[in-house]
Amino acid sequence: MNRIAPKTPLILIVDDEPTMLRYLRTLLEVEGYRVETATNGAEALQRLQQAPVPDLLLLDVLMPVLDGLQTLEQVRNLYPQLKVVMLSCVSDTRKVVQAIRLGAQDYLTKPFQKADLEALIDQCLGPQKDHPQQVQGDIEDLGDDVFFVAASPAMKKIRSQSKLVANVDIPVLMLGESGTGKEVVSRLIHKYSPRAHRTFLKVNCAAVPADLLESELFGYEPGAFTGATHSKPGKFELCNKGTILLDEIGEMPPQLQAKLLHVLQDQQFSRLGSRNIIKVDVRILAATNIDIPKAIAEKRLREDLYYRLNGFTINLPPLRERREEISILLRHMISQIGESYGKPTMTISPRLLQACERYPWPGNLRELGNFVKRFLILGDEDMAMQELQVGAGTAMGSAVQHPAGGTSQGGLKGLVRNVKDEAEIEAITKALEETNWNRKKAAVMLKISYKALLYKIRQYHIQRTGTTV
């Protein structure tokens, strides 16, 4: 493929094997990339201190003097944004995990196929500037109407981390606010793991009553408790050789956490009412939105269980921190949910799209999905706009209860919200005064709906005299 010289990505290859250096250099130059090489970590670090900085670093793990992981650590200090792919002739679980934690984009085991390297480089470097129409988020179908969207740098990094850790059979702990997509990431990990053709099961530890959760997970024998008339296998047995997601793990009763810890350590357990030992081979993923240090301090989460689950941690950002994905998610959800509802394809206007991108979405993807469902059912864009305006007002309401006078309640963000509220109060009051309190005319003047104006008048306690309480 031909590329314009100034835009041609520069790749630095670091490997102590001359044969591998020659092979990679030839392979990449044929594809039109600019290529430089270094034979060890120290040489690579010296090269990085000179211009131009490479777009991608292919870094061998096993090298004398300064190995790949030591080099990666120093590279991260010098150029934290530089994309790095590790190369190794052995698939060492500890080294893979360490490389991910140090910020490697991916990990490729030698020998590898040419297509694997090309796909990995395309993923790291992304679409070129001379192809702007390709600058879109990647939507990956995970089955069962679940999909993963990666348009923001944070989600692209999570996708890369998920694919890497999928091949390493260790527990993964997913943290983030409710509705950020922790189950979606767990399905992505399962899809790219060697267990992909096996069972994937999710257990919501908060949705099952505490006295039933143990039997749900581990099964029971007749007579184990009142009503247990027959044998029943638990989720761990049903998921043997597969992957199990323990959602809301922080809500699991502490006494049951001890039994789970035993399963993690020994991969064996007993059904309720039985002394027989059952051995299983299950990949355990866990997810929670709790404050981990606080839960450990309050004895709601066992510290030893946390460290056992925390083979690798993925932190999912809230939707308000990846707004570039909102338009992609909206269009995909409208298409997907509309099809399931038997609705014709609906378009979303620029006005509503901008409102969606501004809205903070405290419920994250779950709230966005419910919003789309209501929009498809009602088909009323004005009502959808009002819903967003009212929701945004509710989200700001707490700031009005604590007027500006310090930043202790929310730091700089709280101060900004207070200033915004004061400006909004002033604008509404002025519009009402200019229209002699004709609220319909004031709403038109403010370019908001009549219902939204009434809501804000109540929210801010705006009085006829123009003062606020």
Question: What whole-number distance in Å separates Cα of residue 341 and Cα of residue 344?
Answer: 9
The two tokens of residue 297 are: 């301090």
What pLDDT does residue 396 have? 52
pLDDT for res 58: 94
Q: Tens-of-pLDDT digits for all 469 residues of the chain?
A: 444 344 688 999 999 988 888 888 888 887 788 899 999 999 999 999 888 889 999 999 988 888 899 999 999 888 888 999 999 887 677 888 888 888 888 888 887 777 778 878 888 886 544 433 333 557 888 888 888 988 888 898 899 889 889 988 899 999 999 999 999 999 999 999 999 999 999 999 988 888 889 999 999 999 888 888 899 999 999 999 999 999 999 999 988 999 999 999 998 999 999 889 999 999 999 999 999 999 999 999 999 999 999 999 999 999 999 998 998 888 888 888 887 777 766 778 888 988 999 999 999 999 999 999 988 888 888 888 888 887 776 655 544 444 433 433 444 444 445 555 677 788 888 888 888 888 888 888 887 877 778 777 877 778 765 343 3
Max Cα-Cα span within the chain: 84
Specify the pLDDT at position 420: 59
Side-chain half-sphere exposure of 366, counting CA atoms within 13 A: 9
**Which residues partner with 278 through β-bridges?**
269
- Describe the crossing of helices 450-459 and 411-434 by its angle, rounded to 10 degrees: 120
Whole-number pLDDT of residue 316: 95
Which domains does the chain possess? Answer: 6-131 (3.40.50.2300), 140-315 (3.40.50.300)
How far lies 33's CA from each of 5, 25, 83, 111, 314, in Å? 9, 9, 15, 21, 32
* pLDDT confidence of residue 302: 93
Residue 354 burial class via C-beta count within 10 angstroms: exposed 0-12, middle 13-18, buried 19 and up: exposed
Q: Which of 93, 48, 81 is CA-nearest to residue 66?
A: 48
89-123: b or e for each residue (b if 16 or more CB lie within 10 Å)? eeeeeebbbbbbebbbbbbbbeeeeeeebeebbeb
Burial-class residue 416 by CB neighbours within 10 Å (0-12, 13-18, 19+): middle
Rounded-to-integer distance, Cα 105 and Cα 123, Å: 9
pTM for the model: 0.66
Q: What pLDDT was estimated at residue 453?
A: 81
Q: Please report the pLDDT score of residue 405 as a whole number.
A: 38
Q: Given phi > 0 = left and psi -120 to 50 = alpha, else beta, which region is 274?
A: beta
The DSSP code for 231 is: -
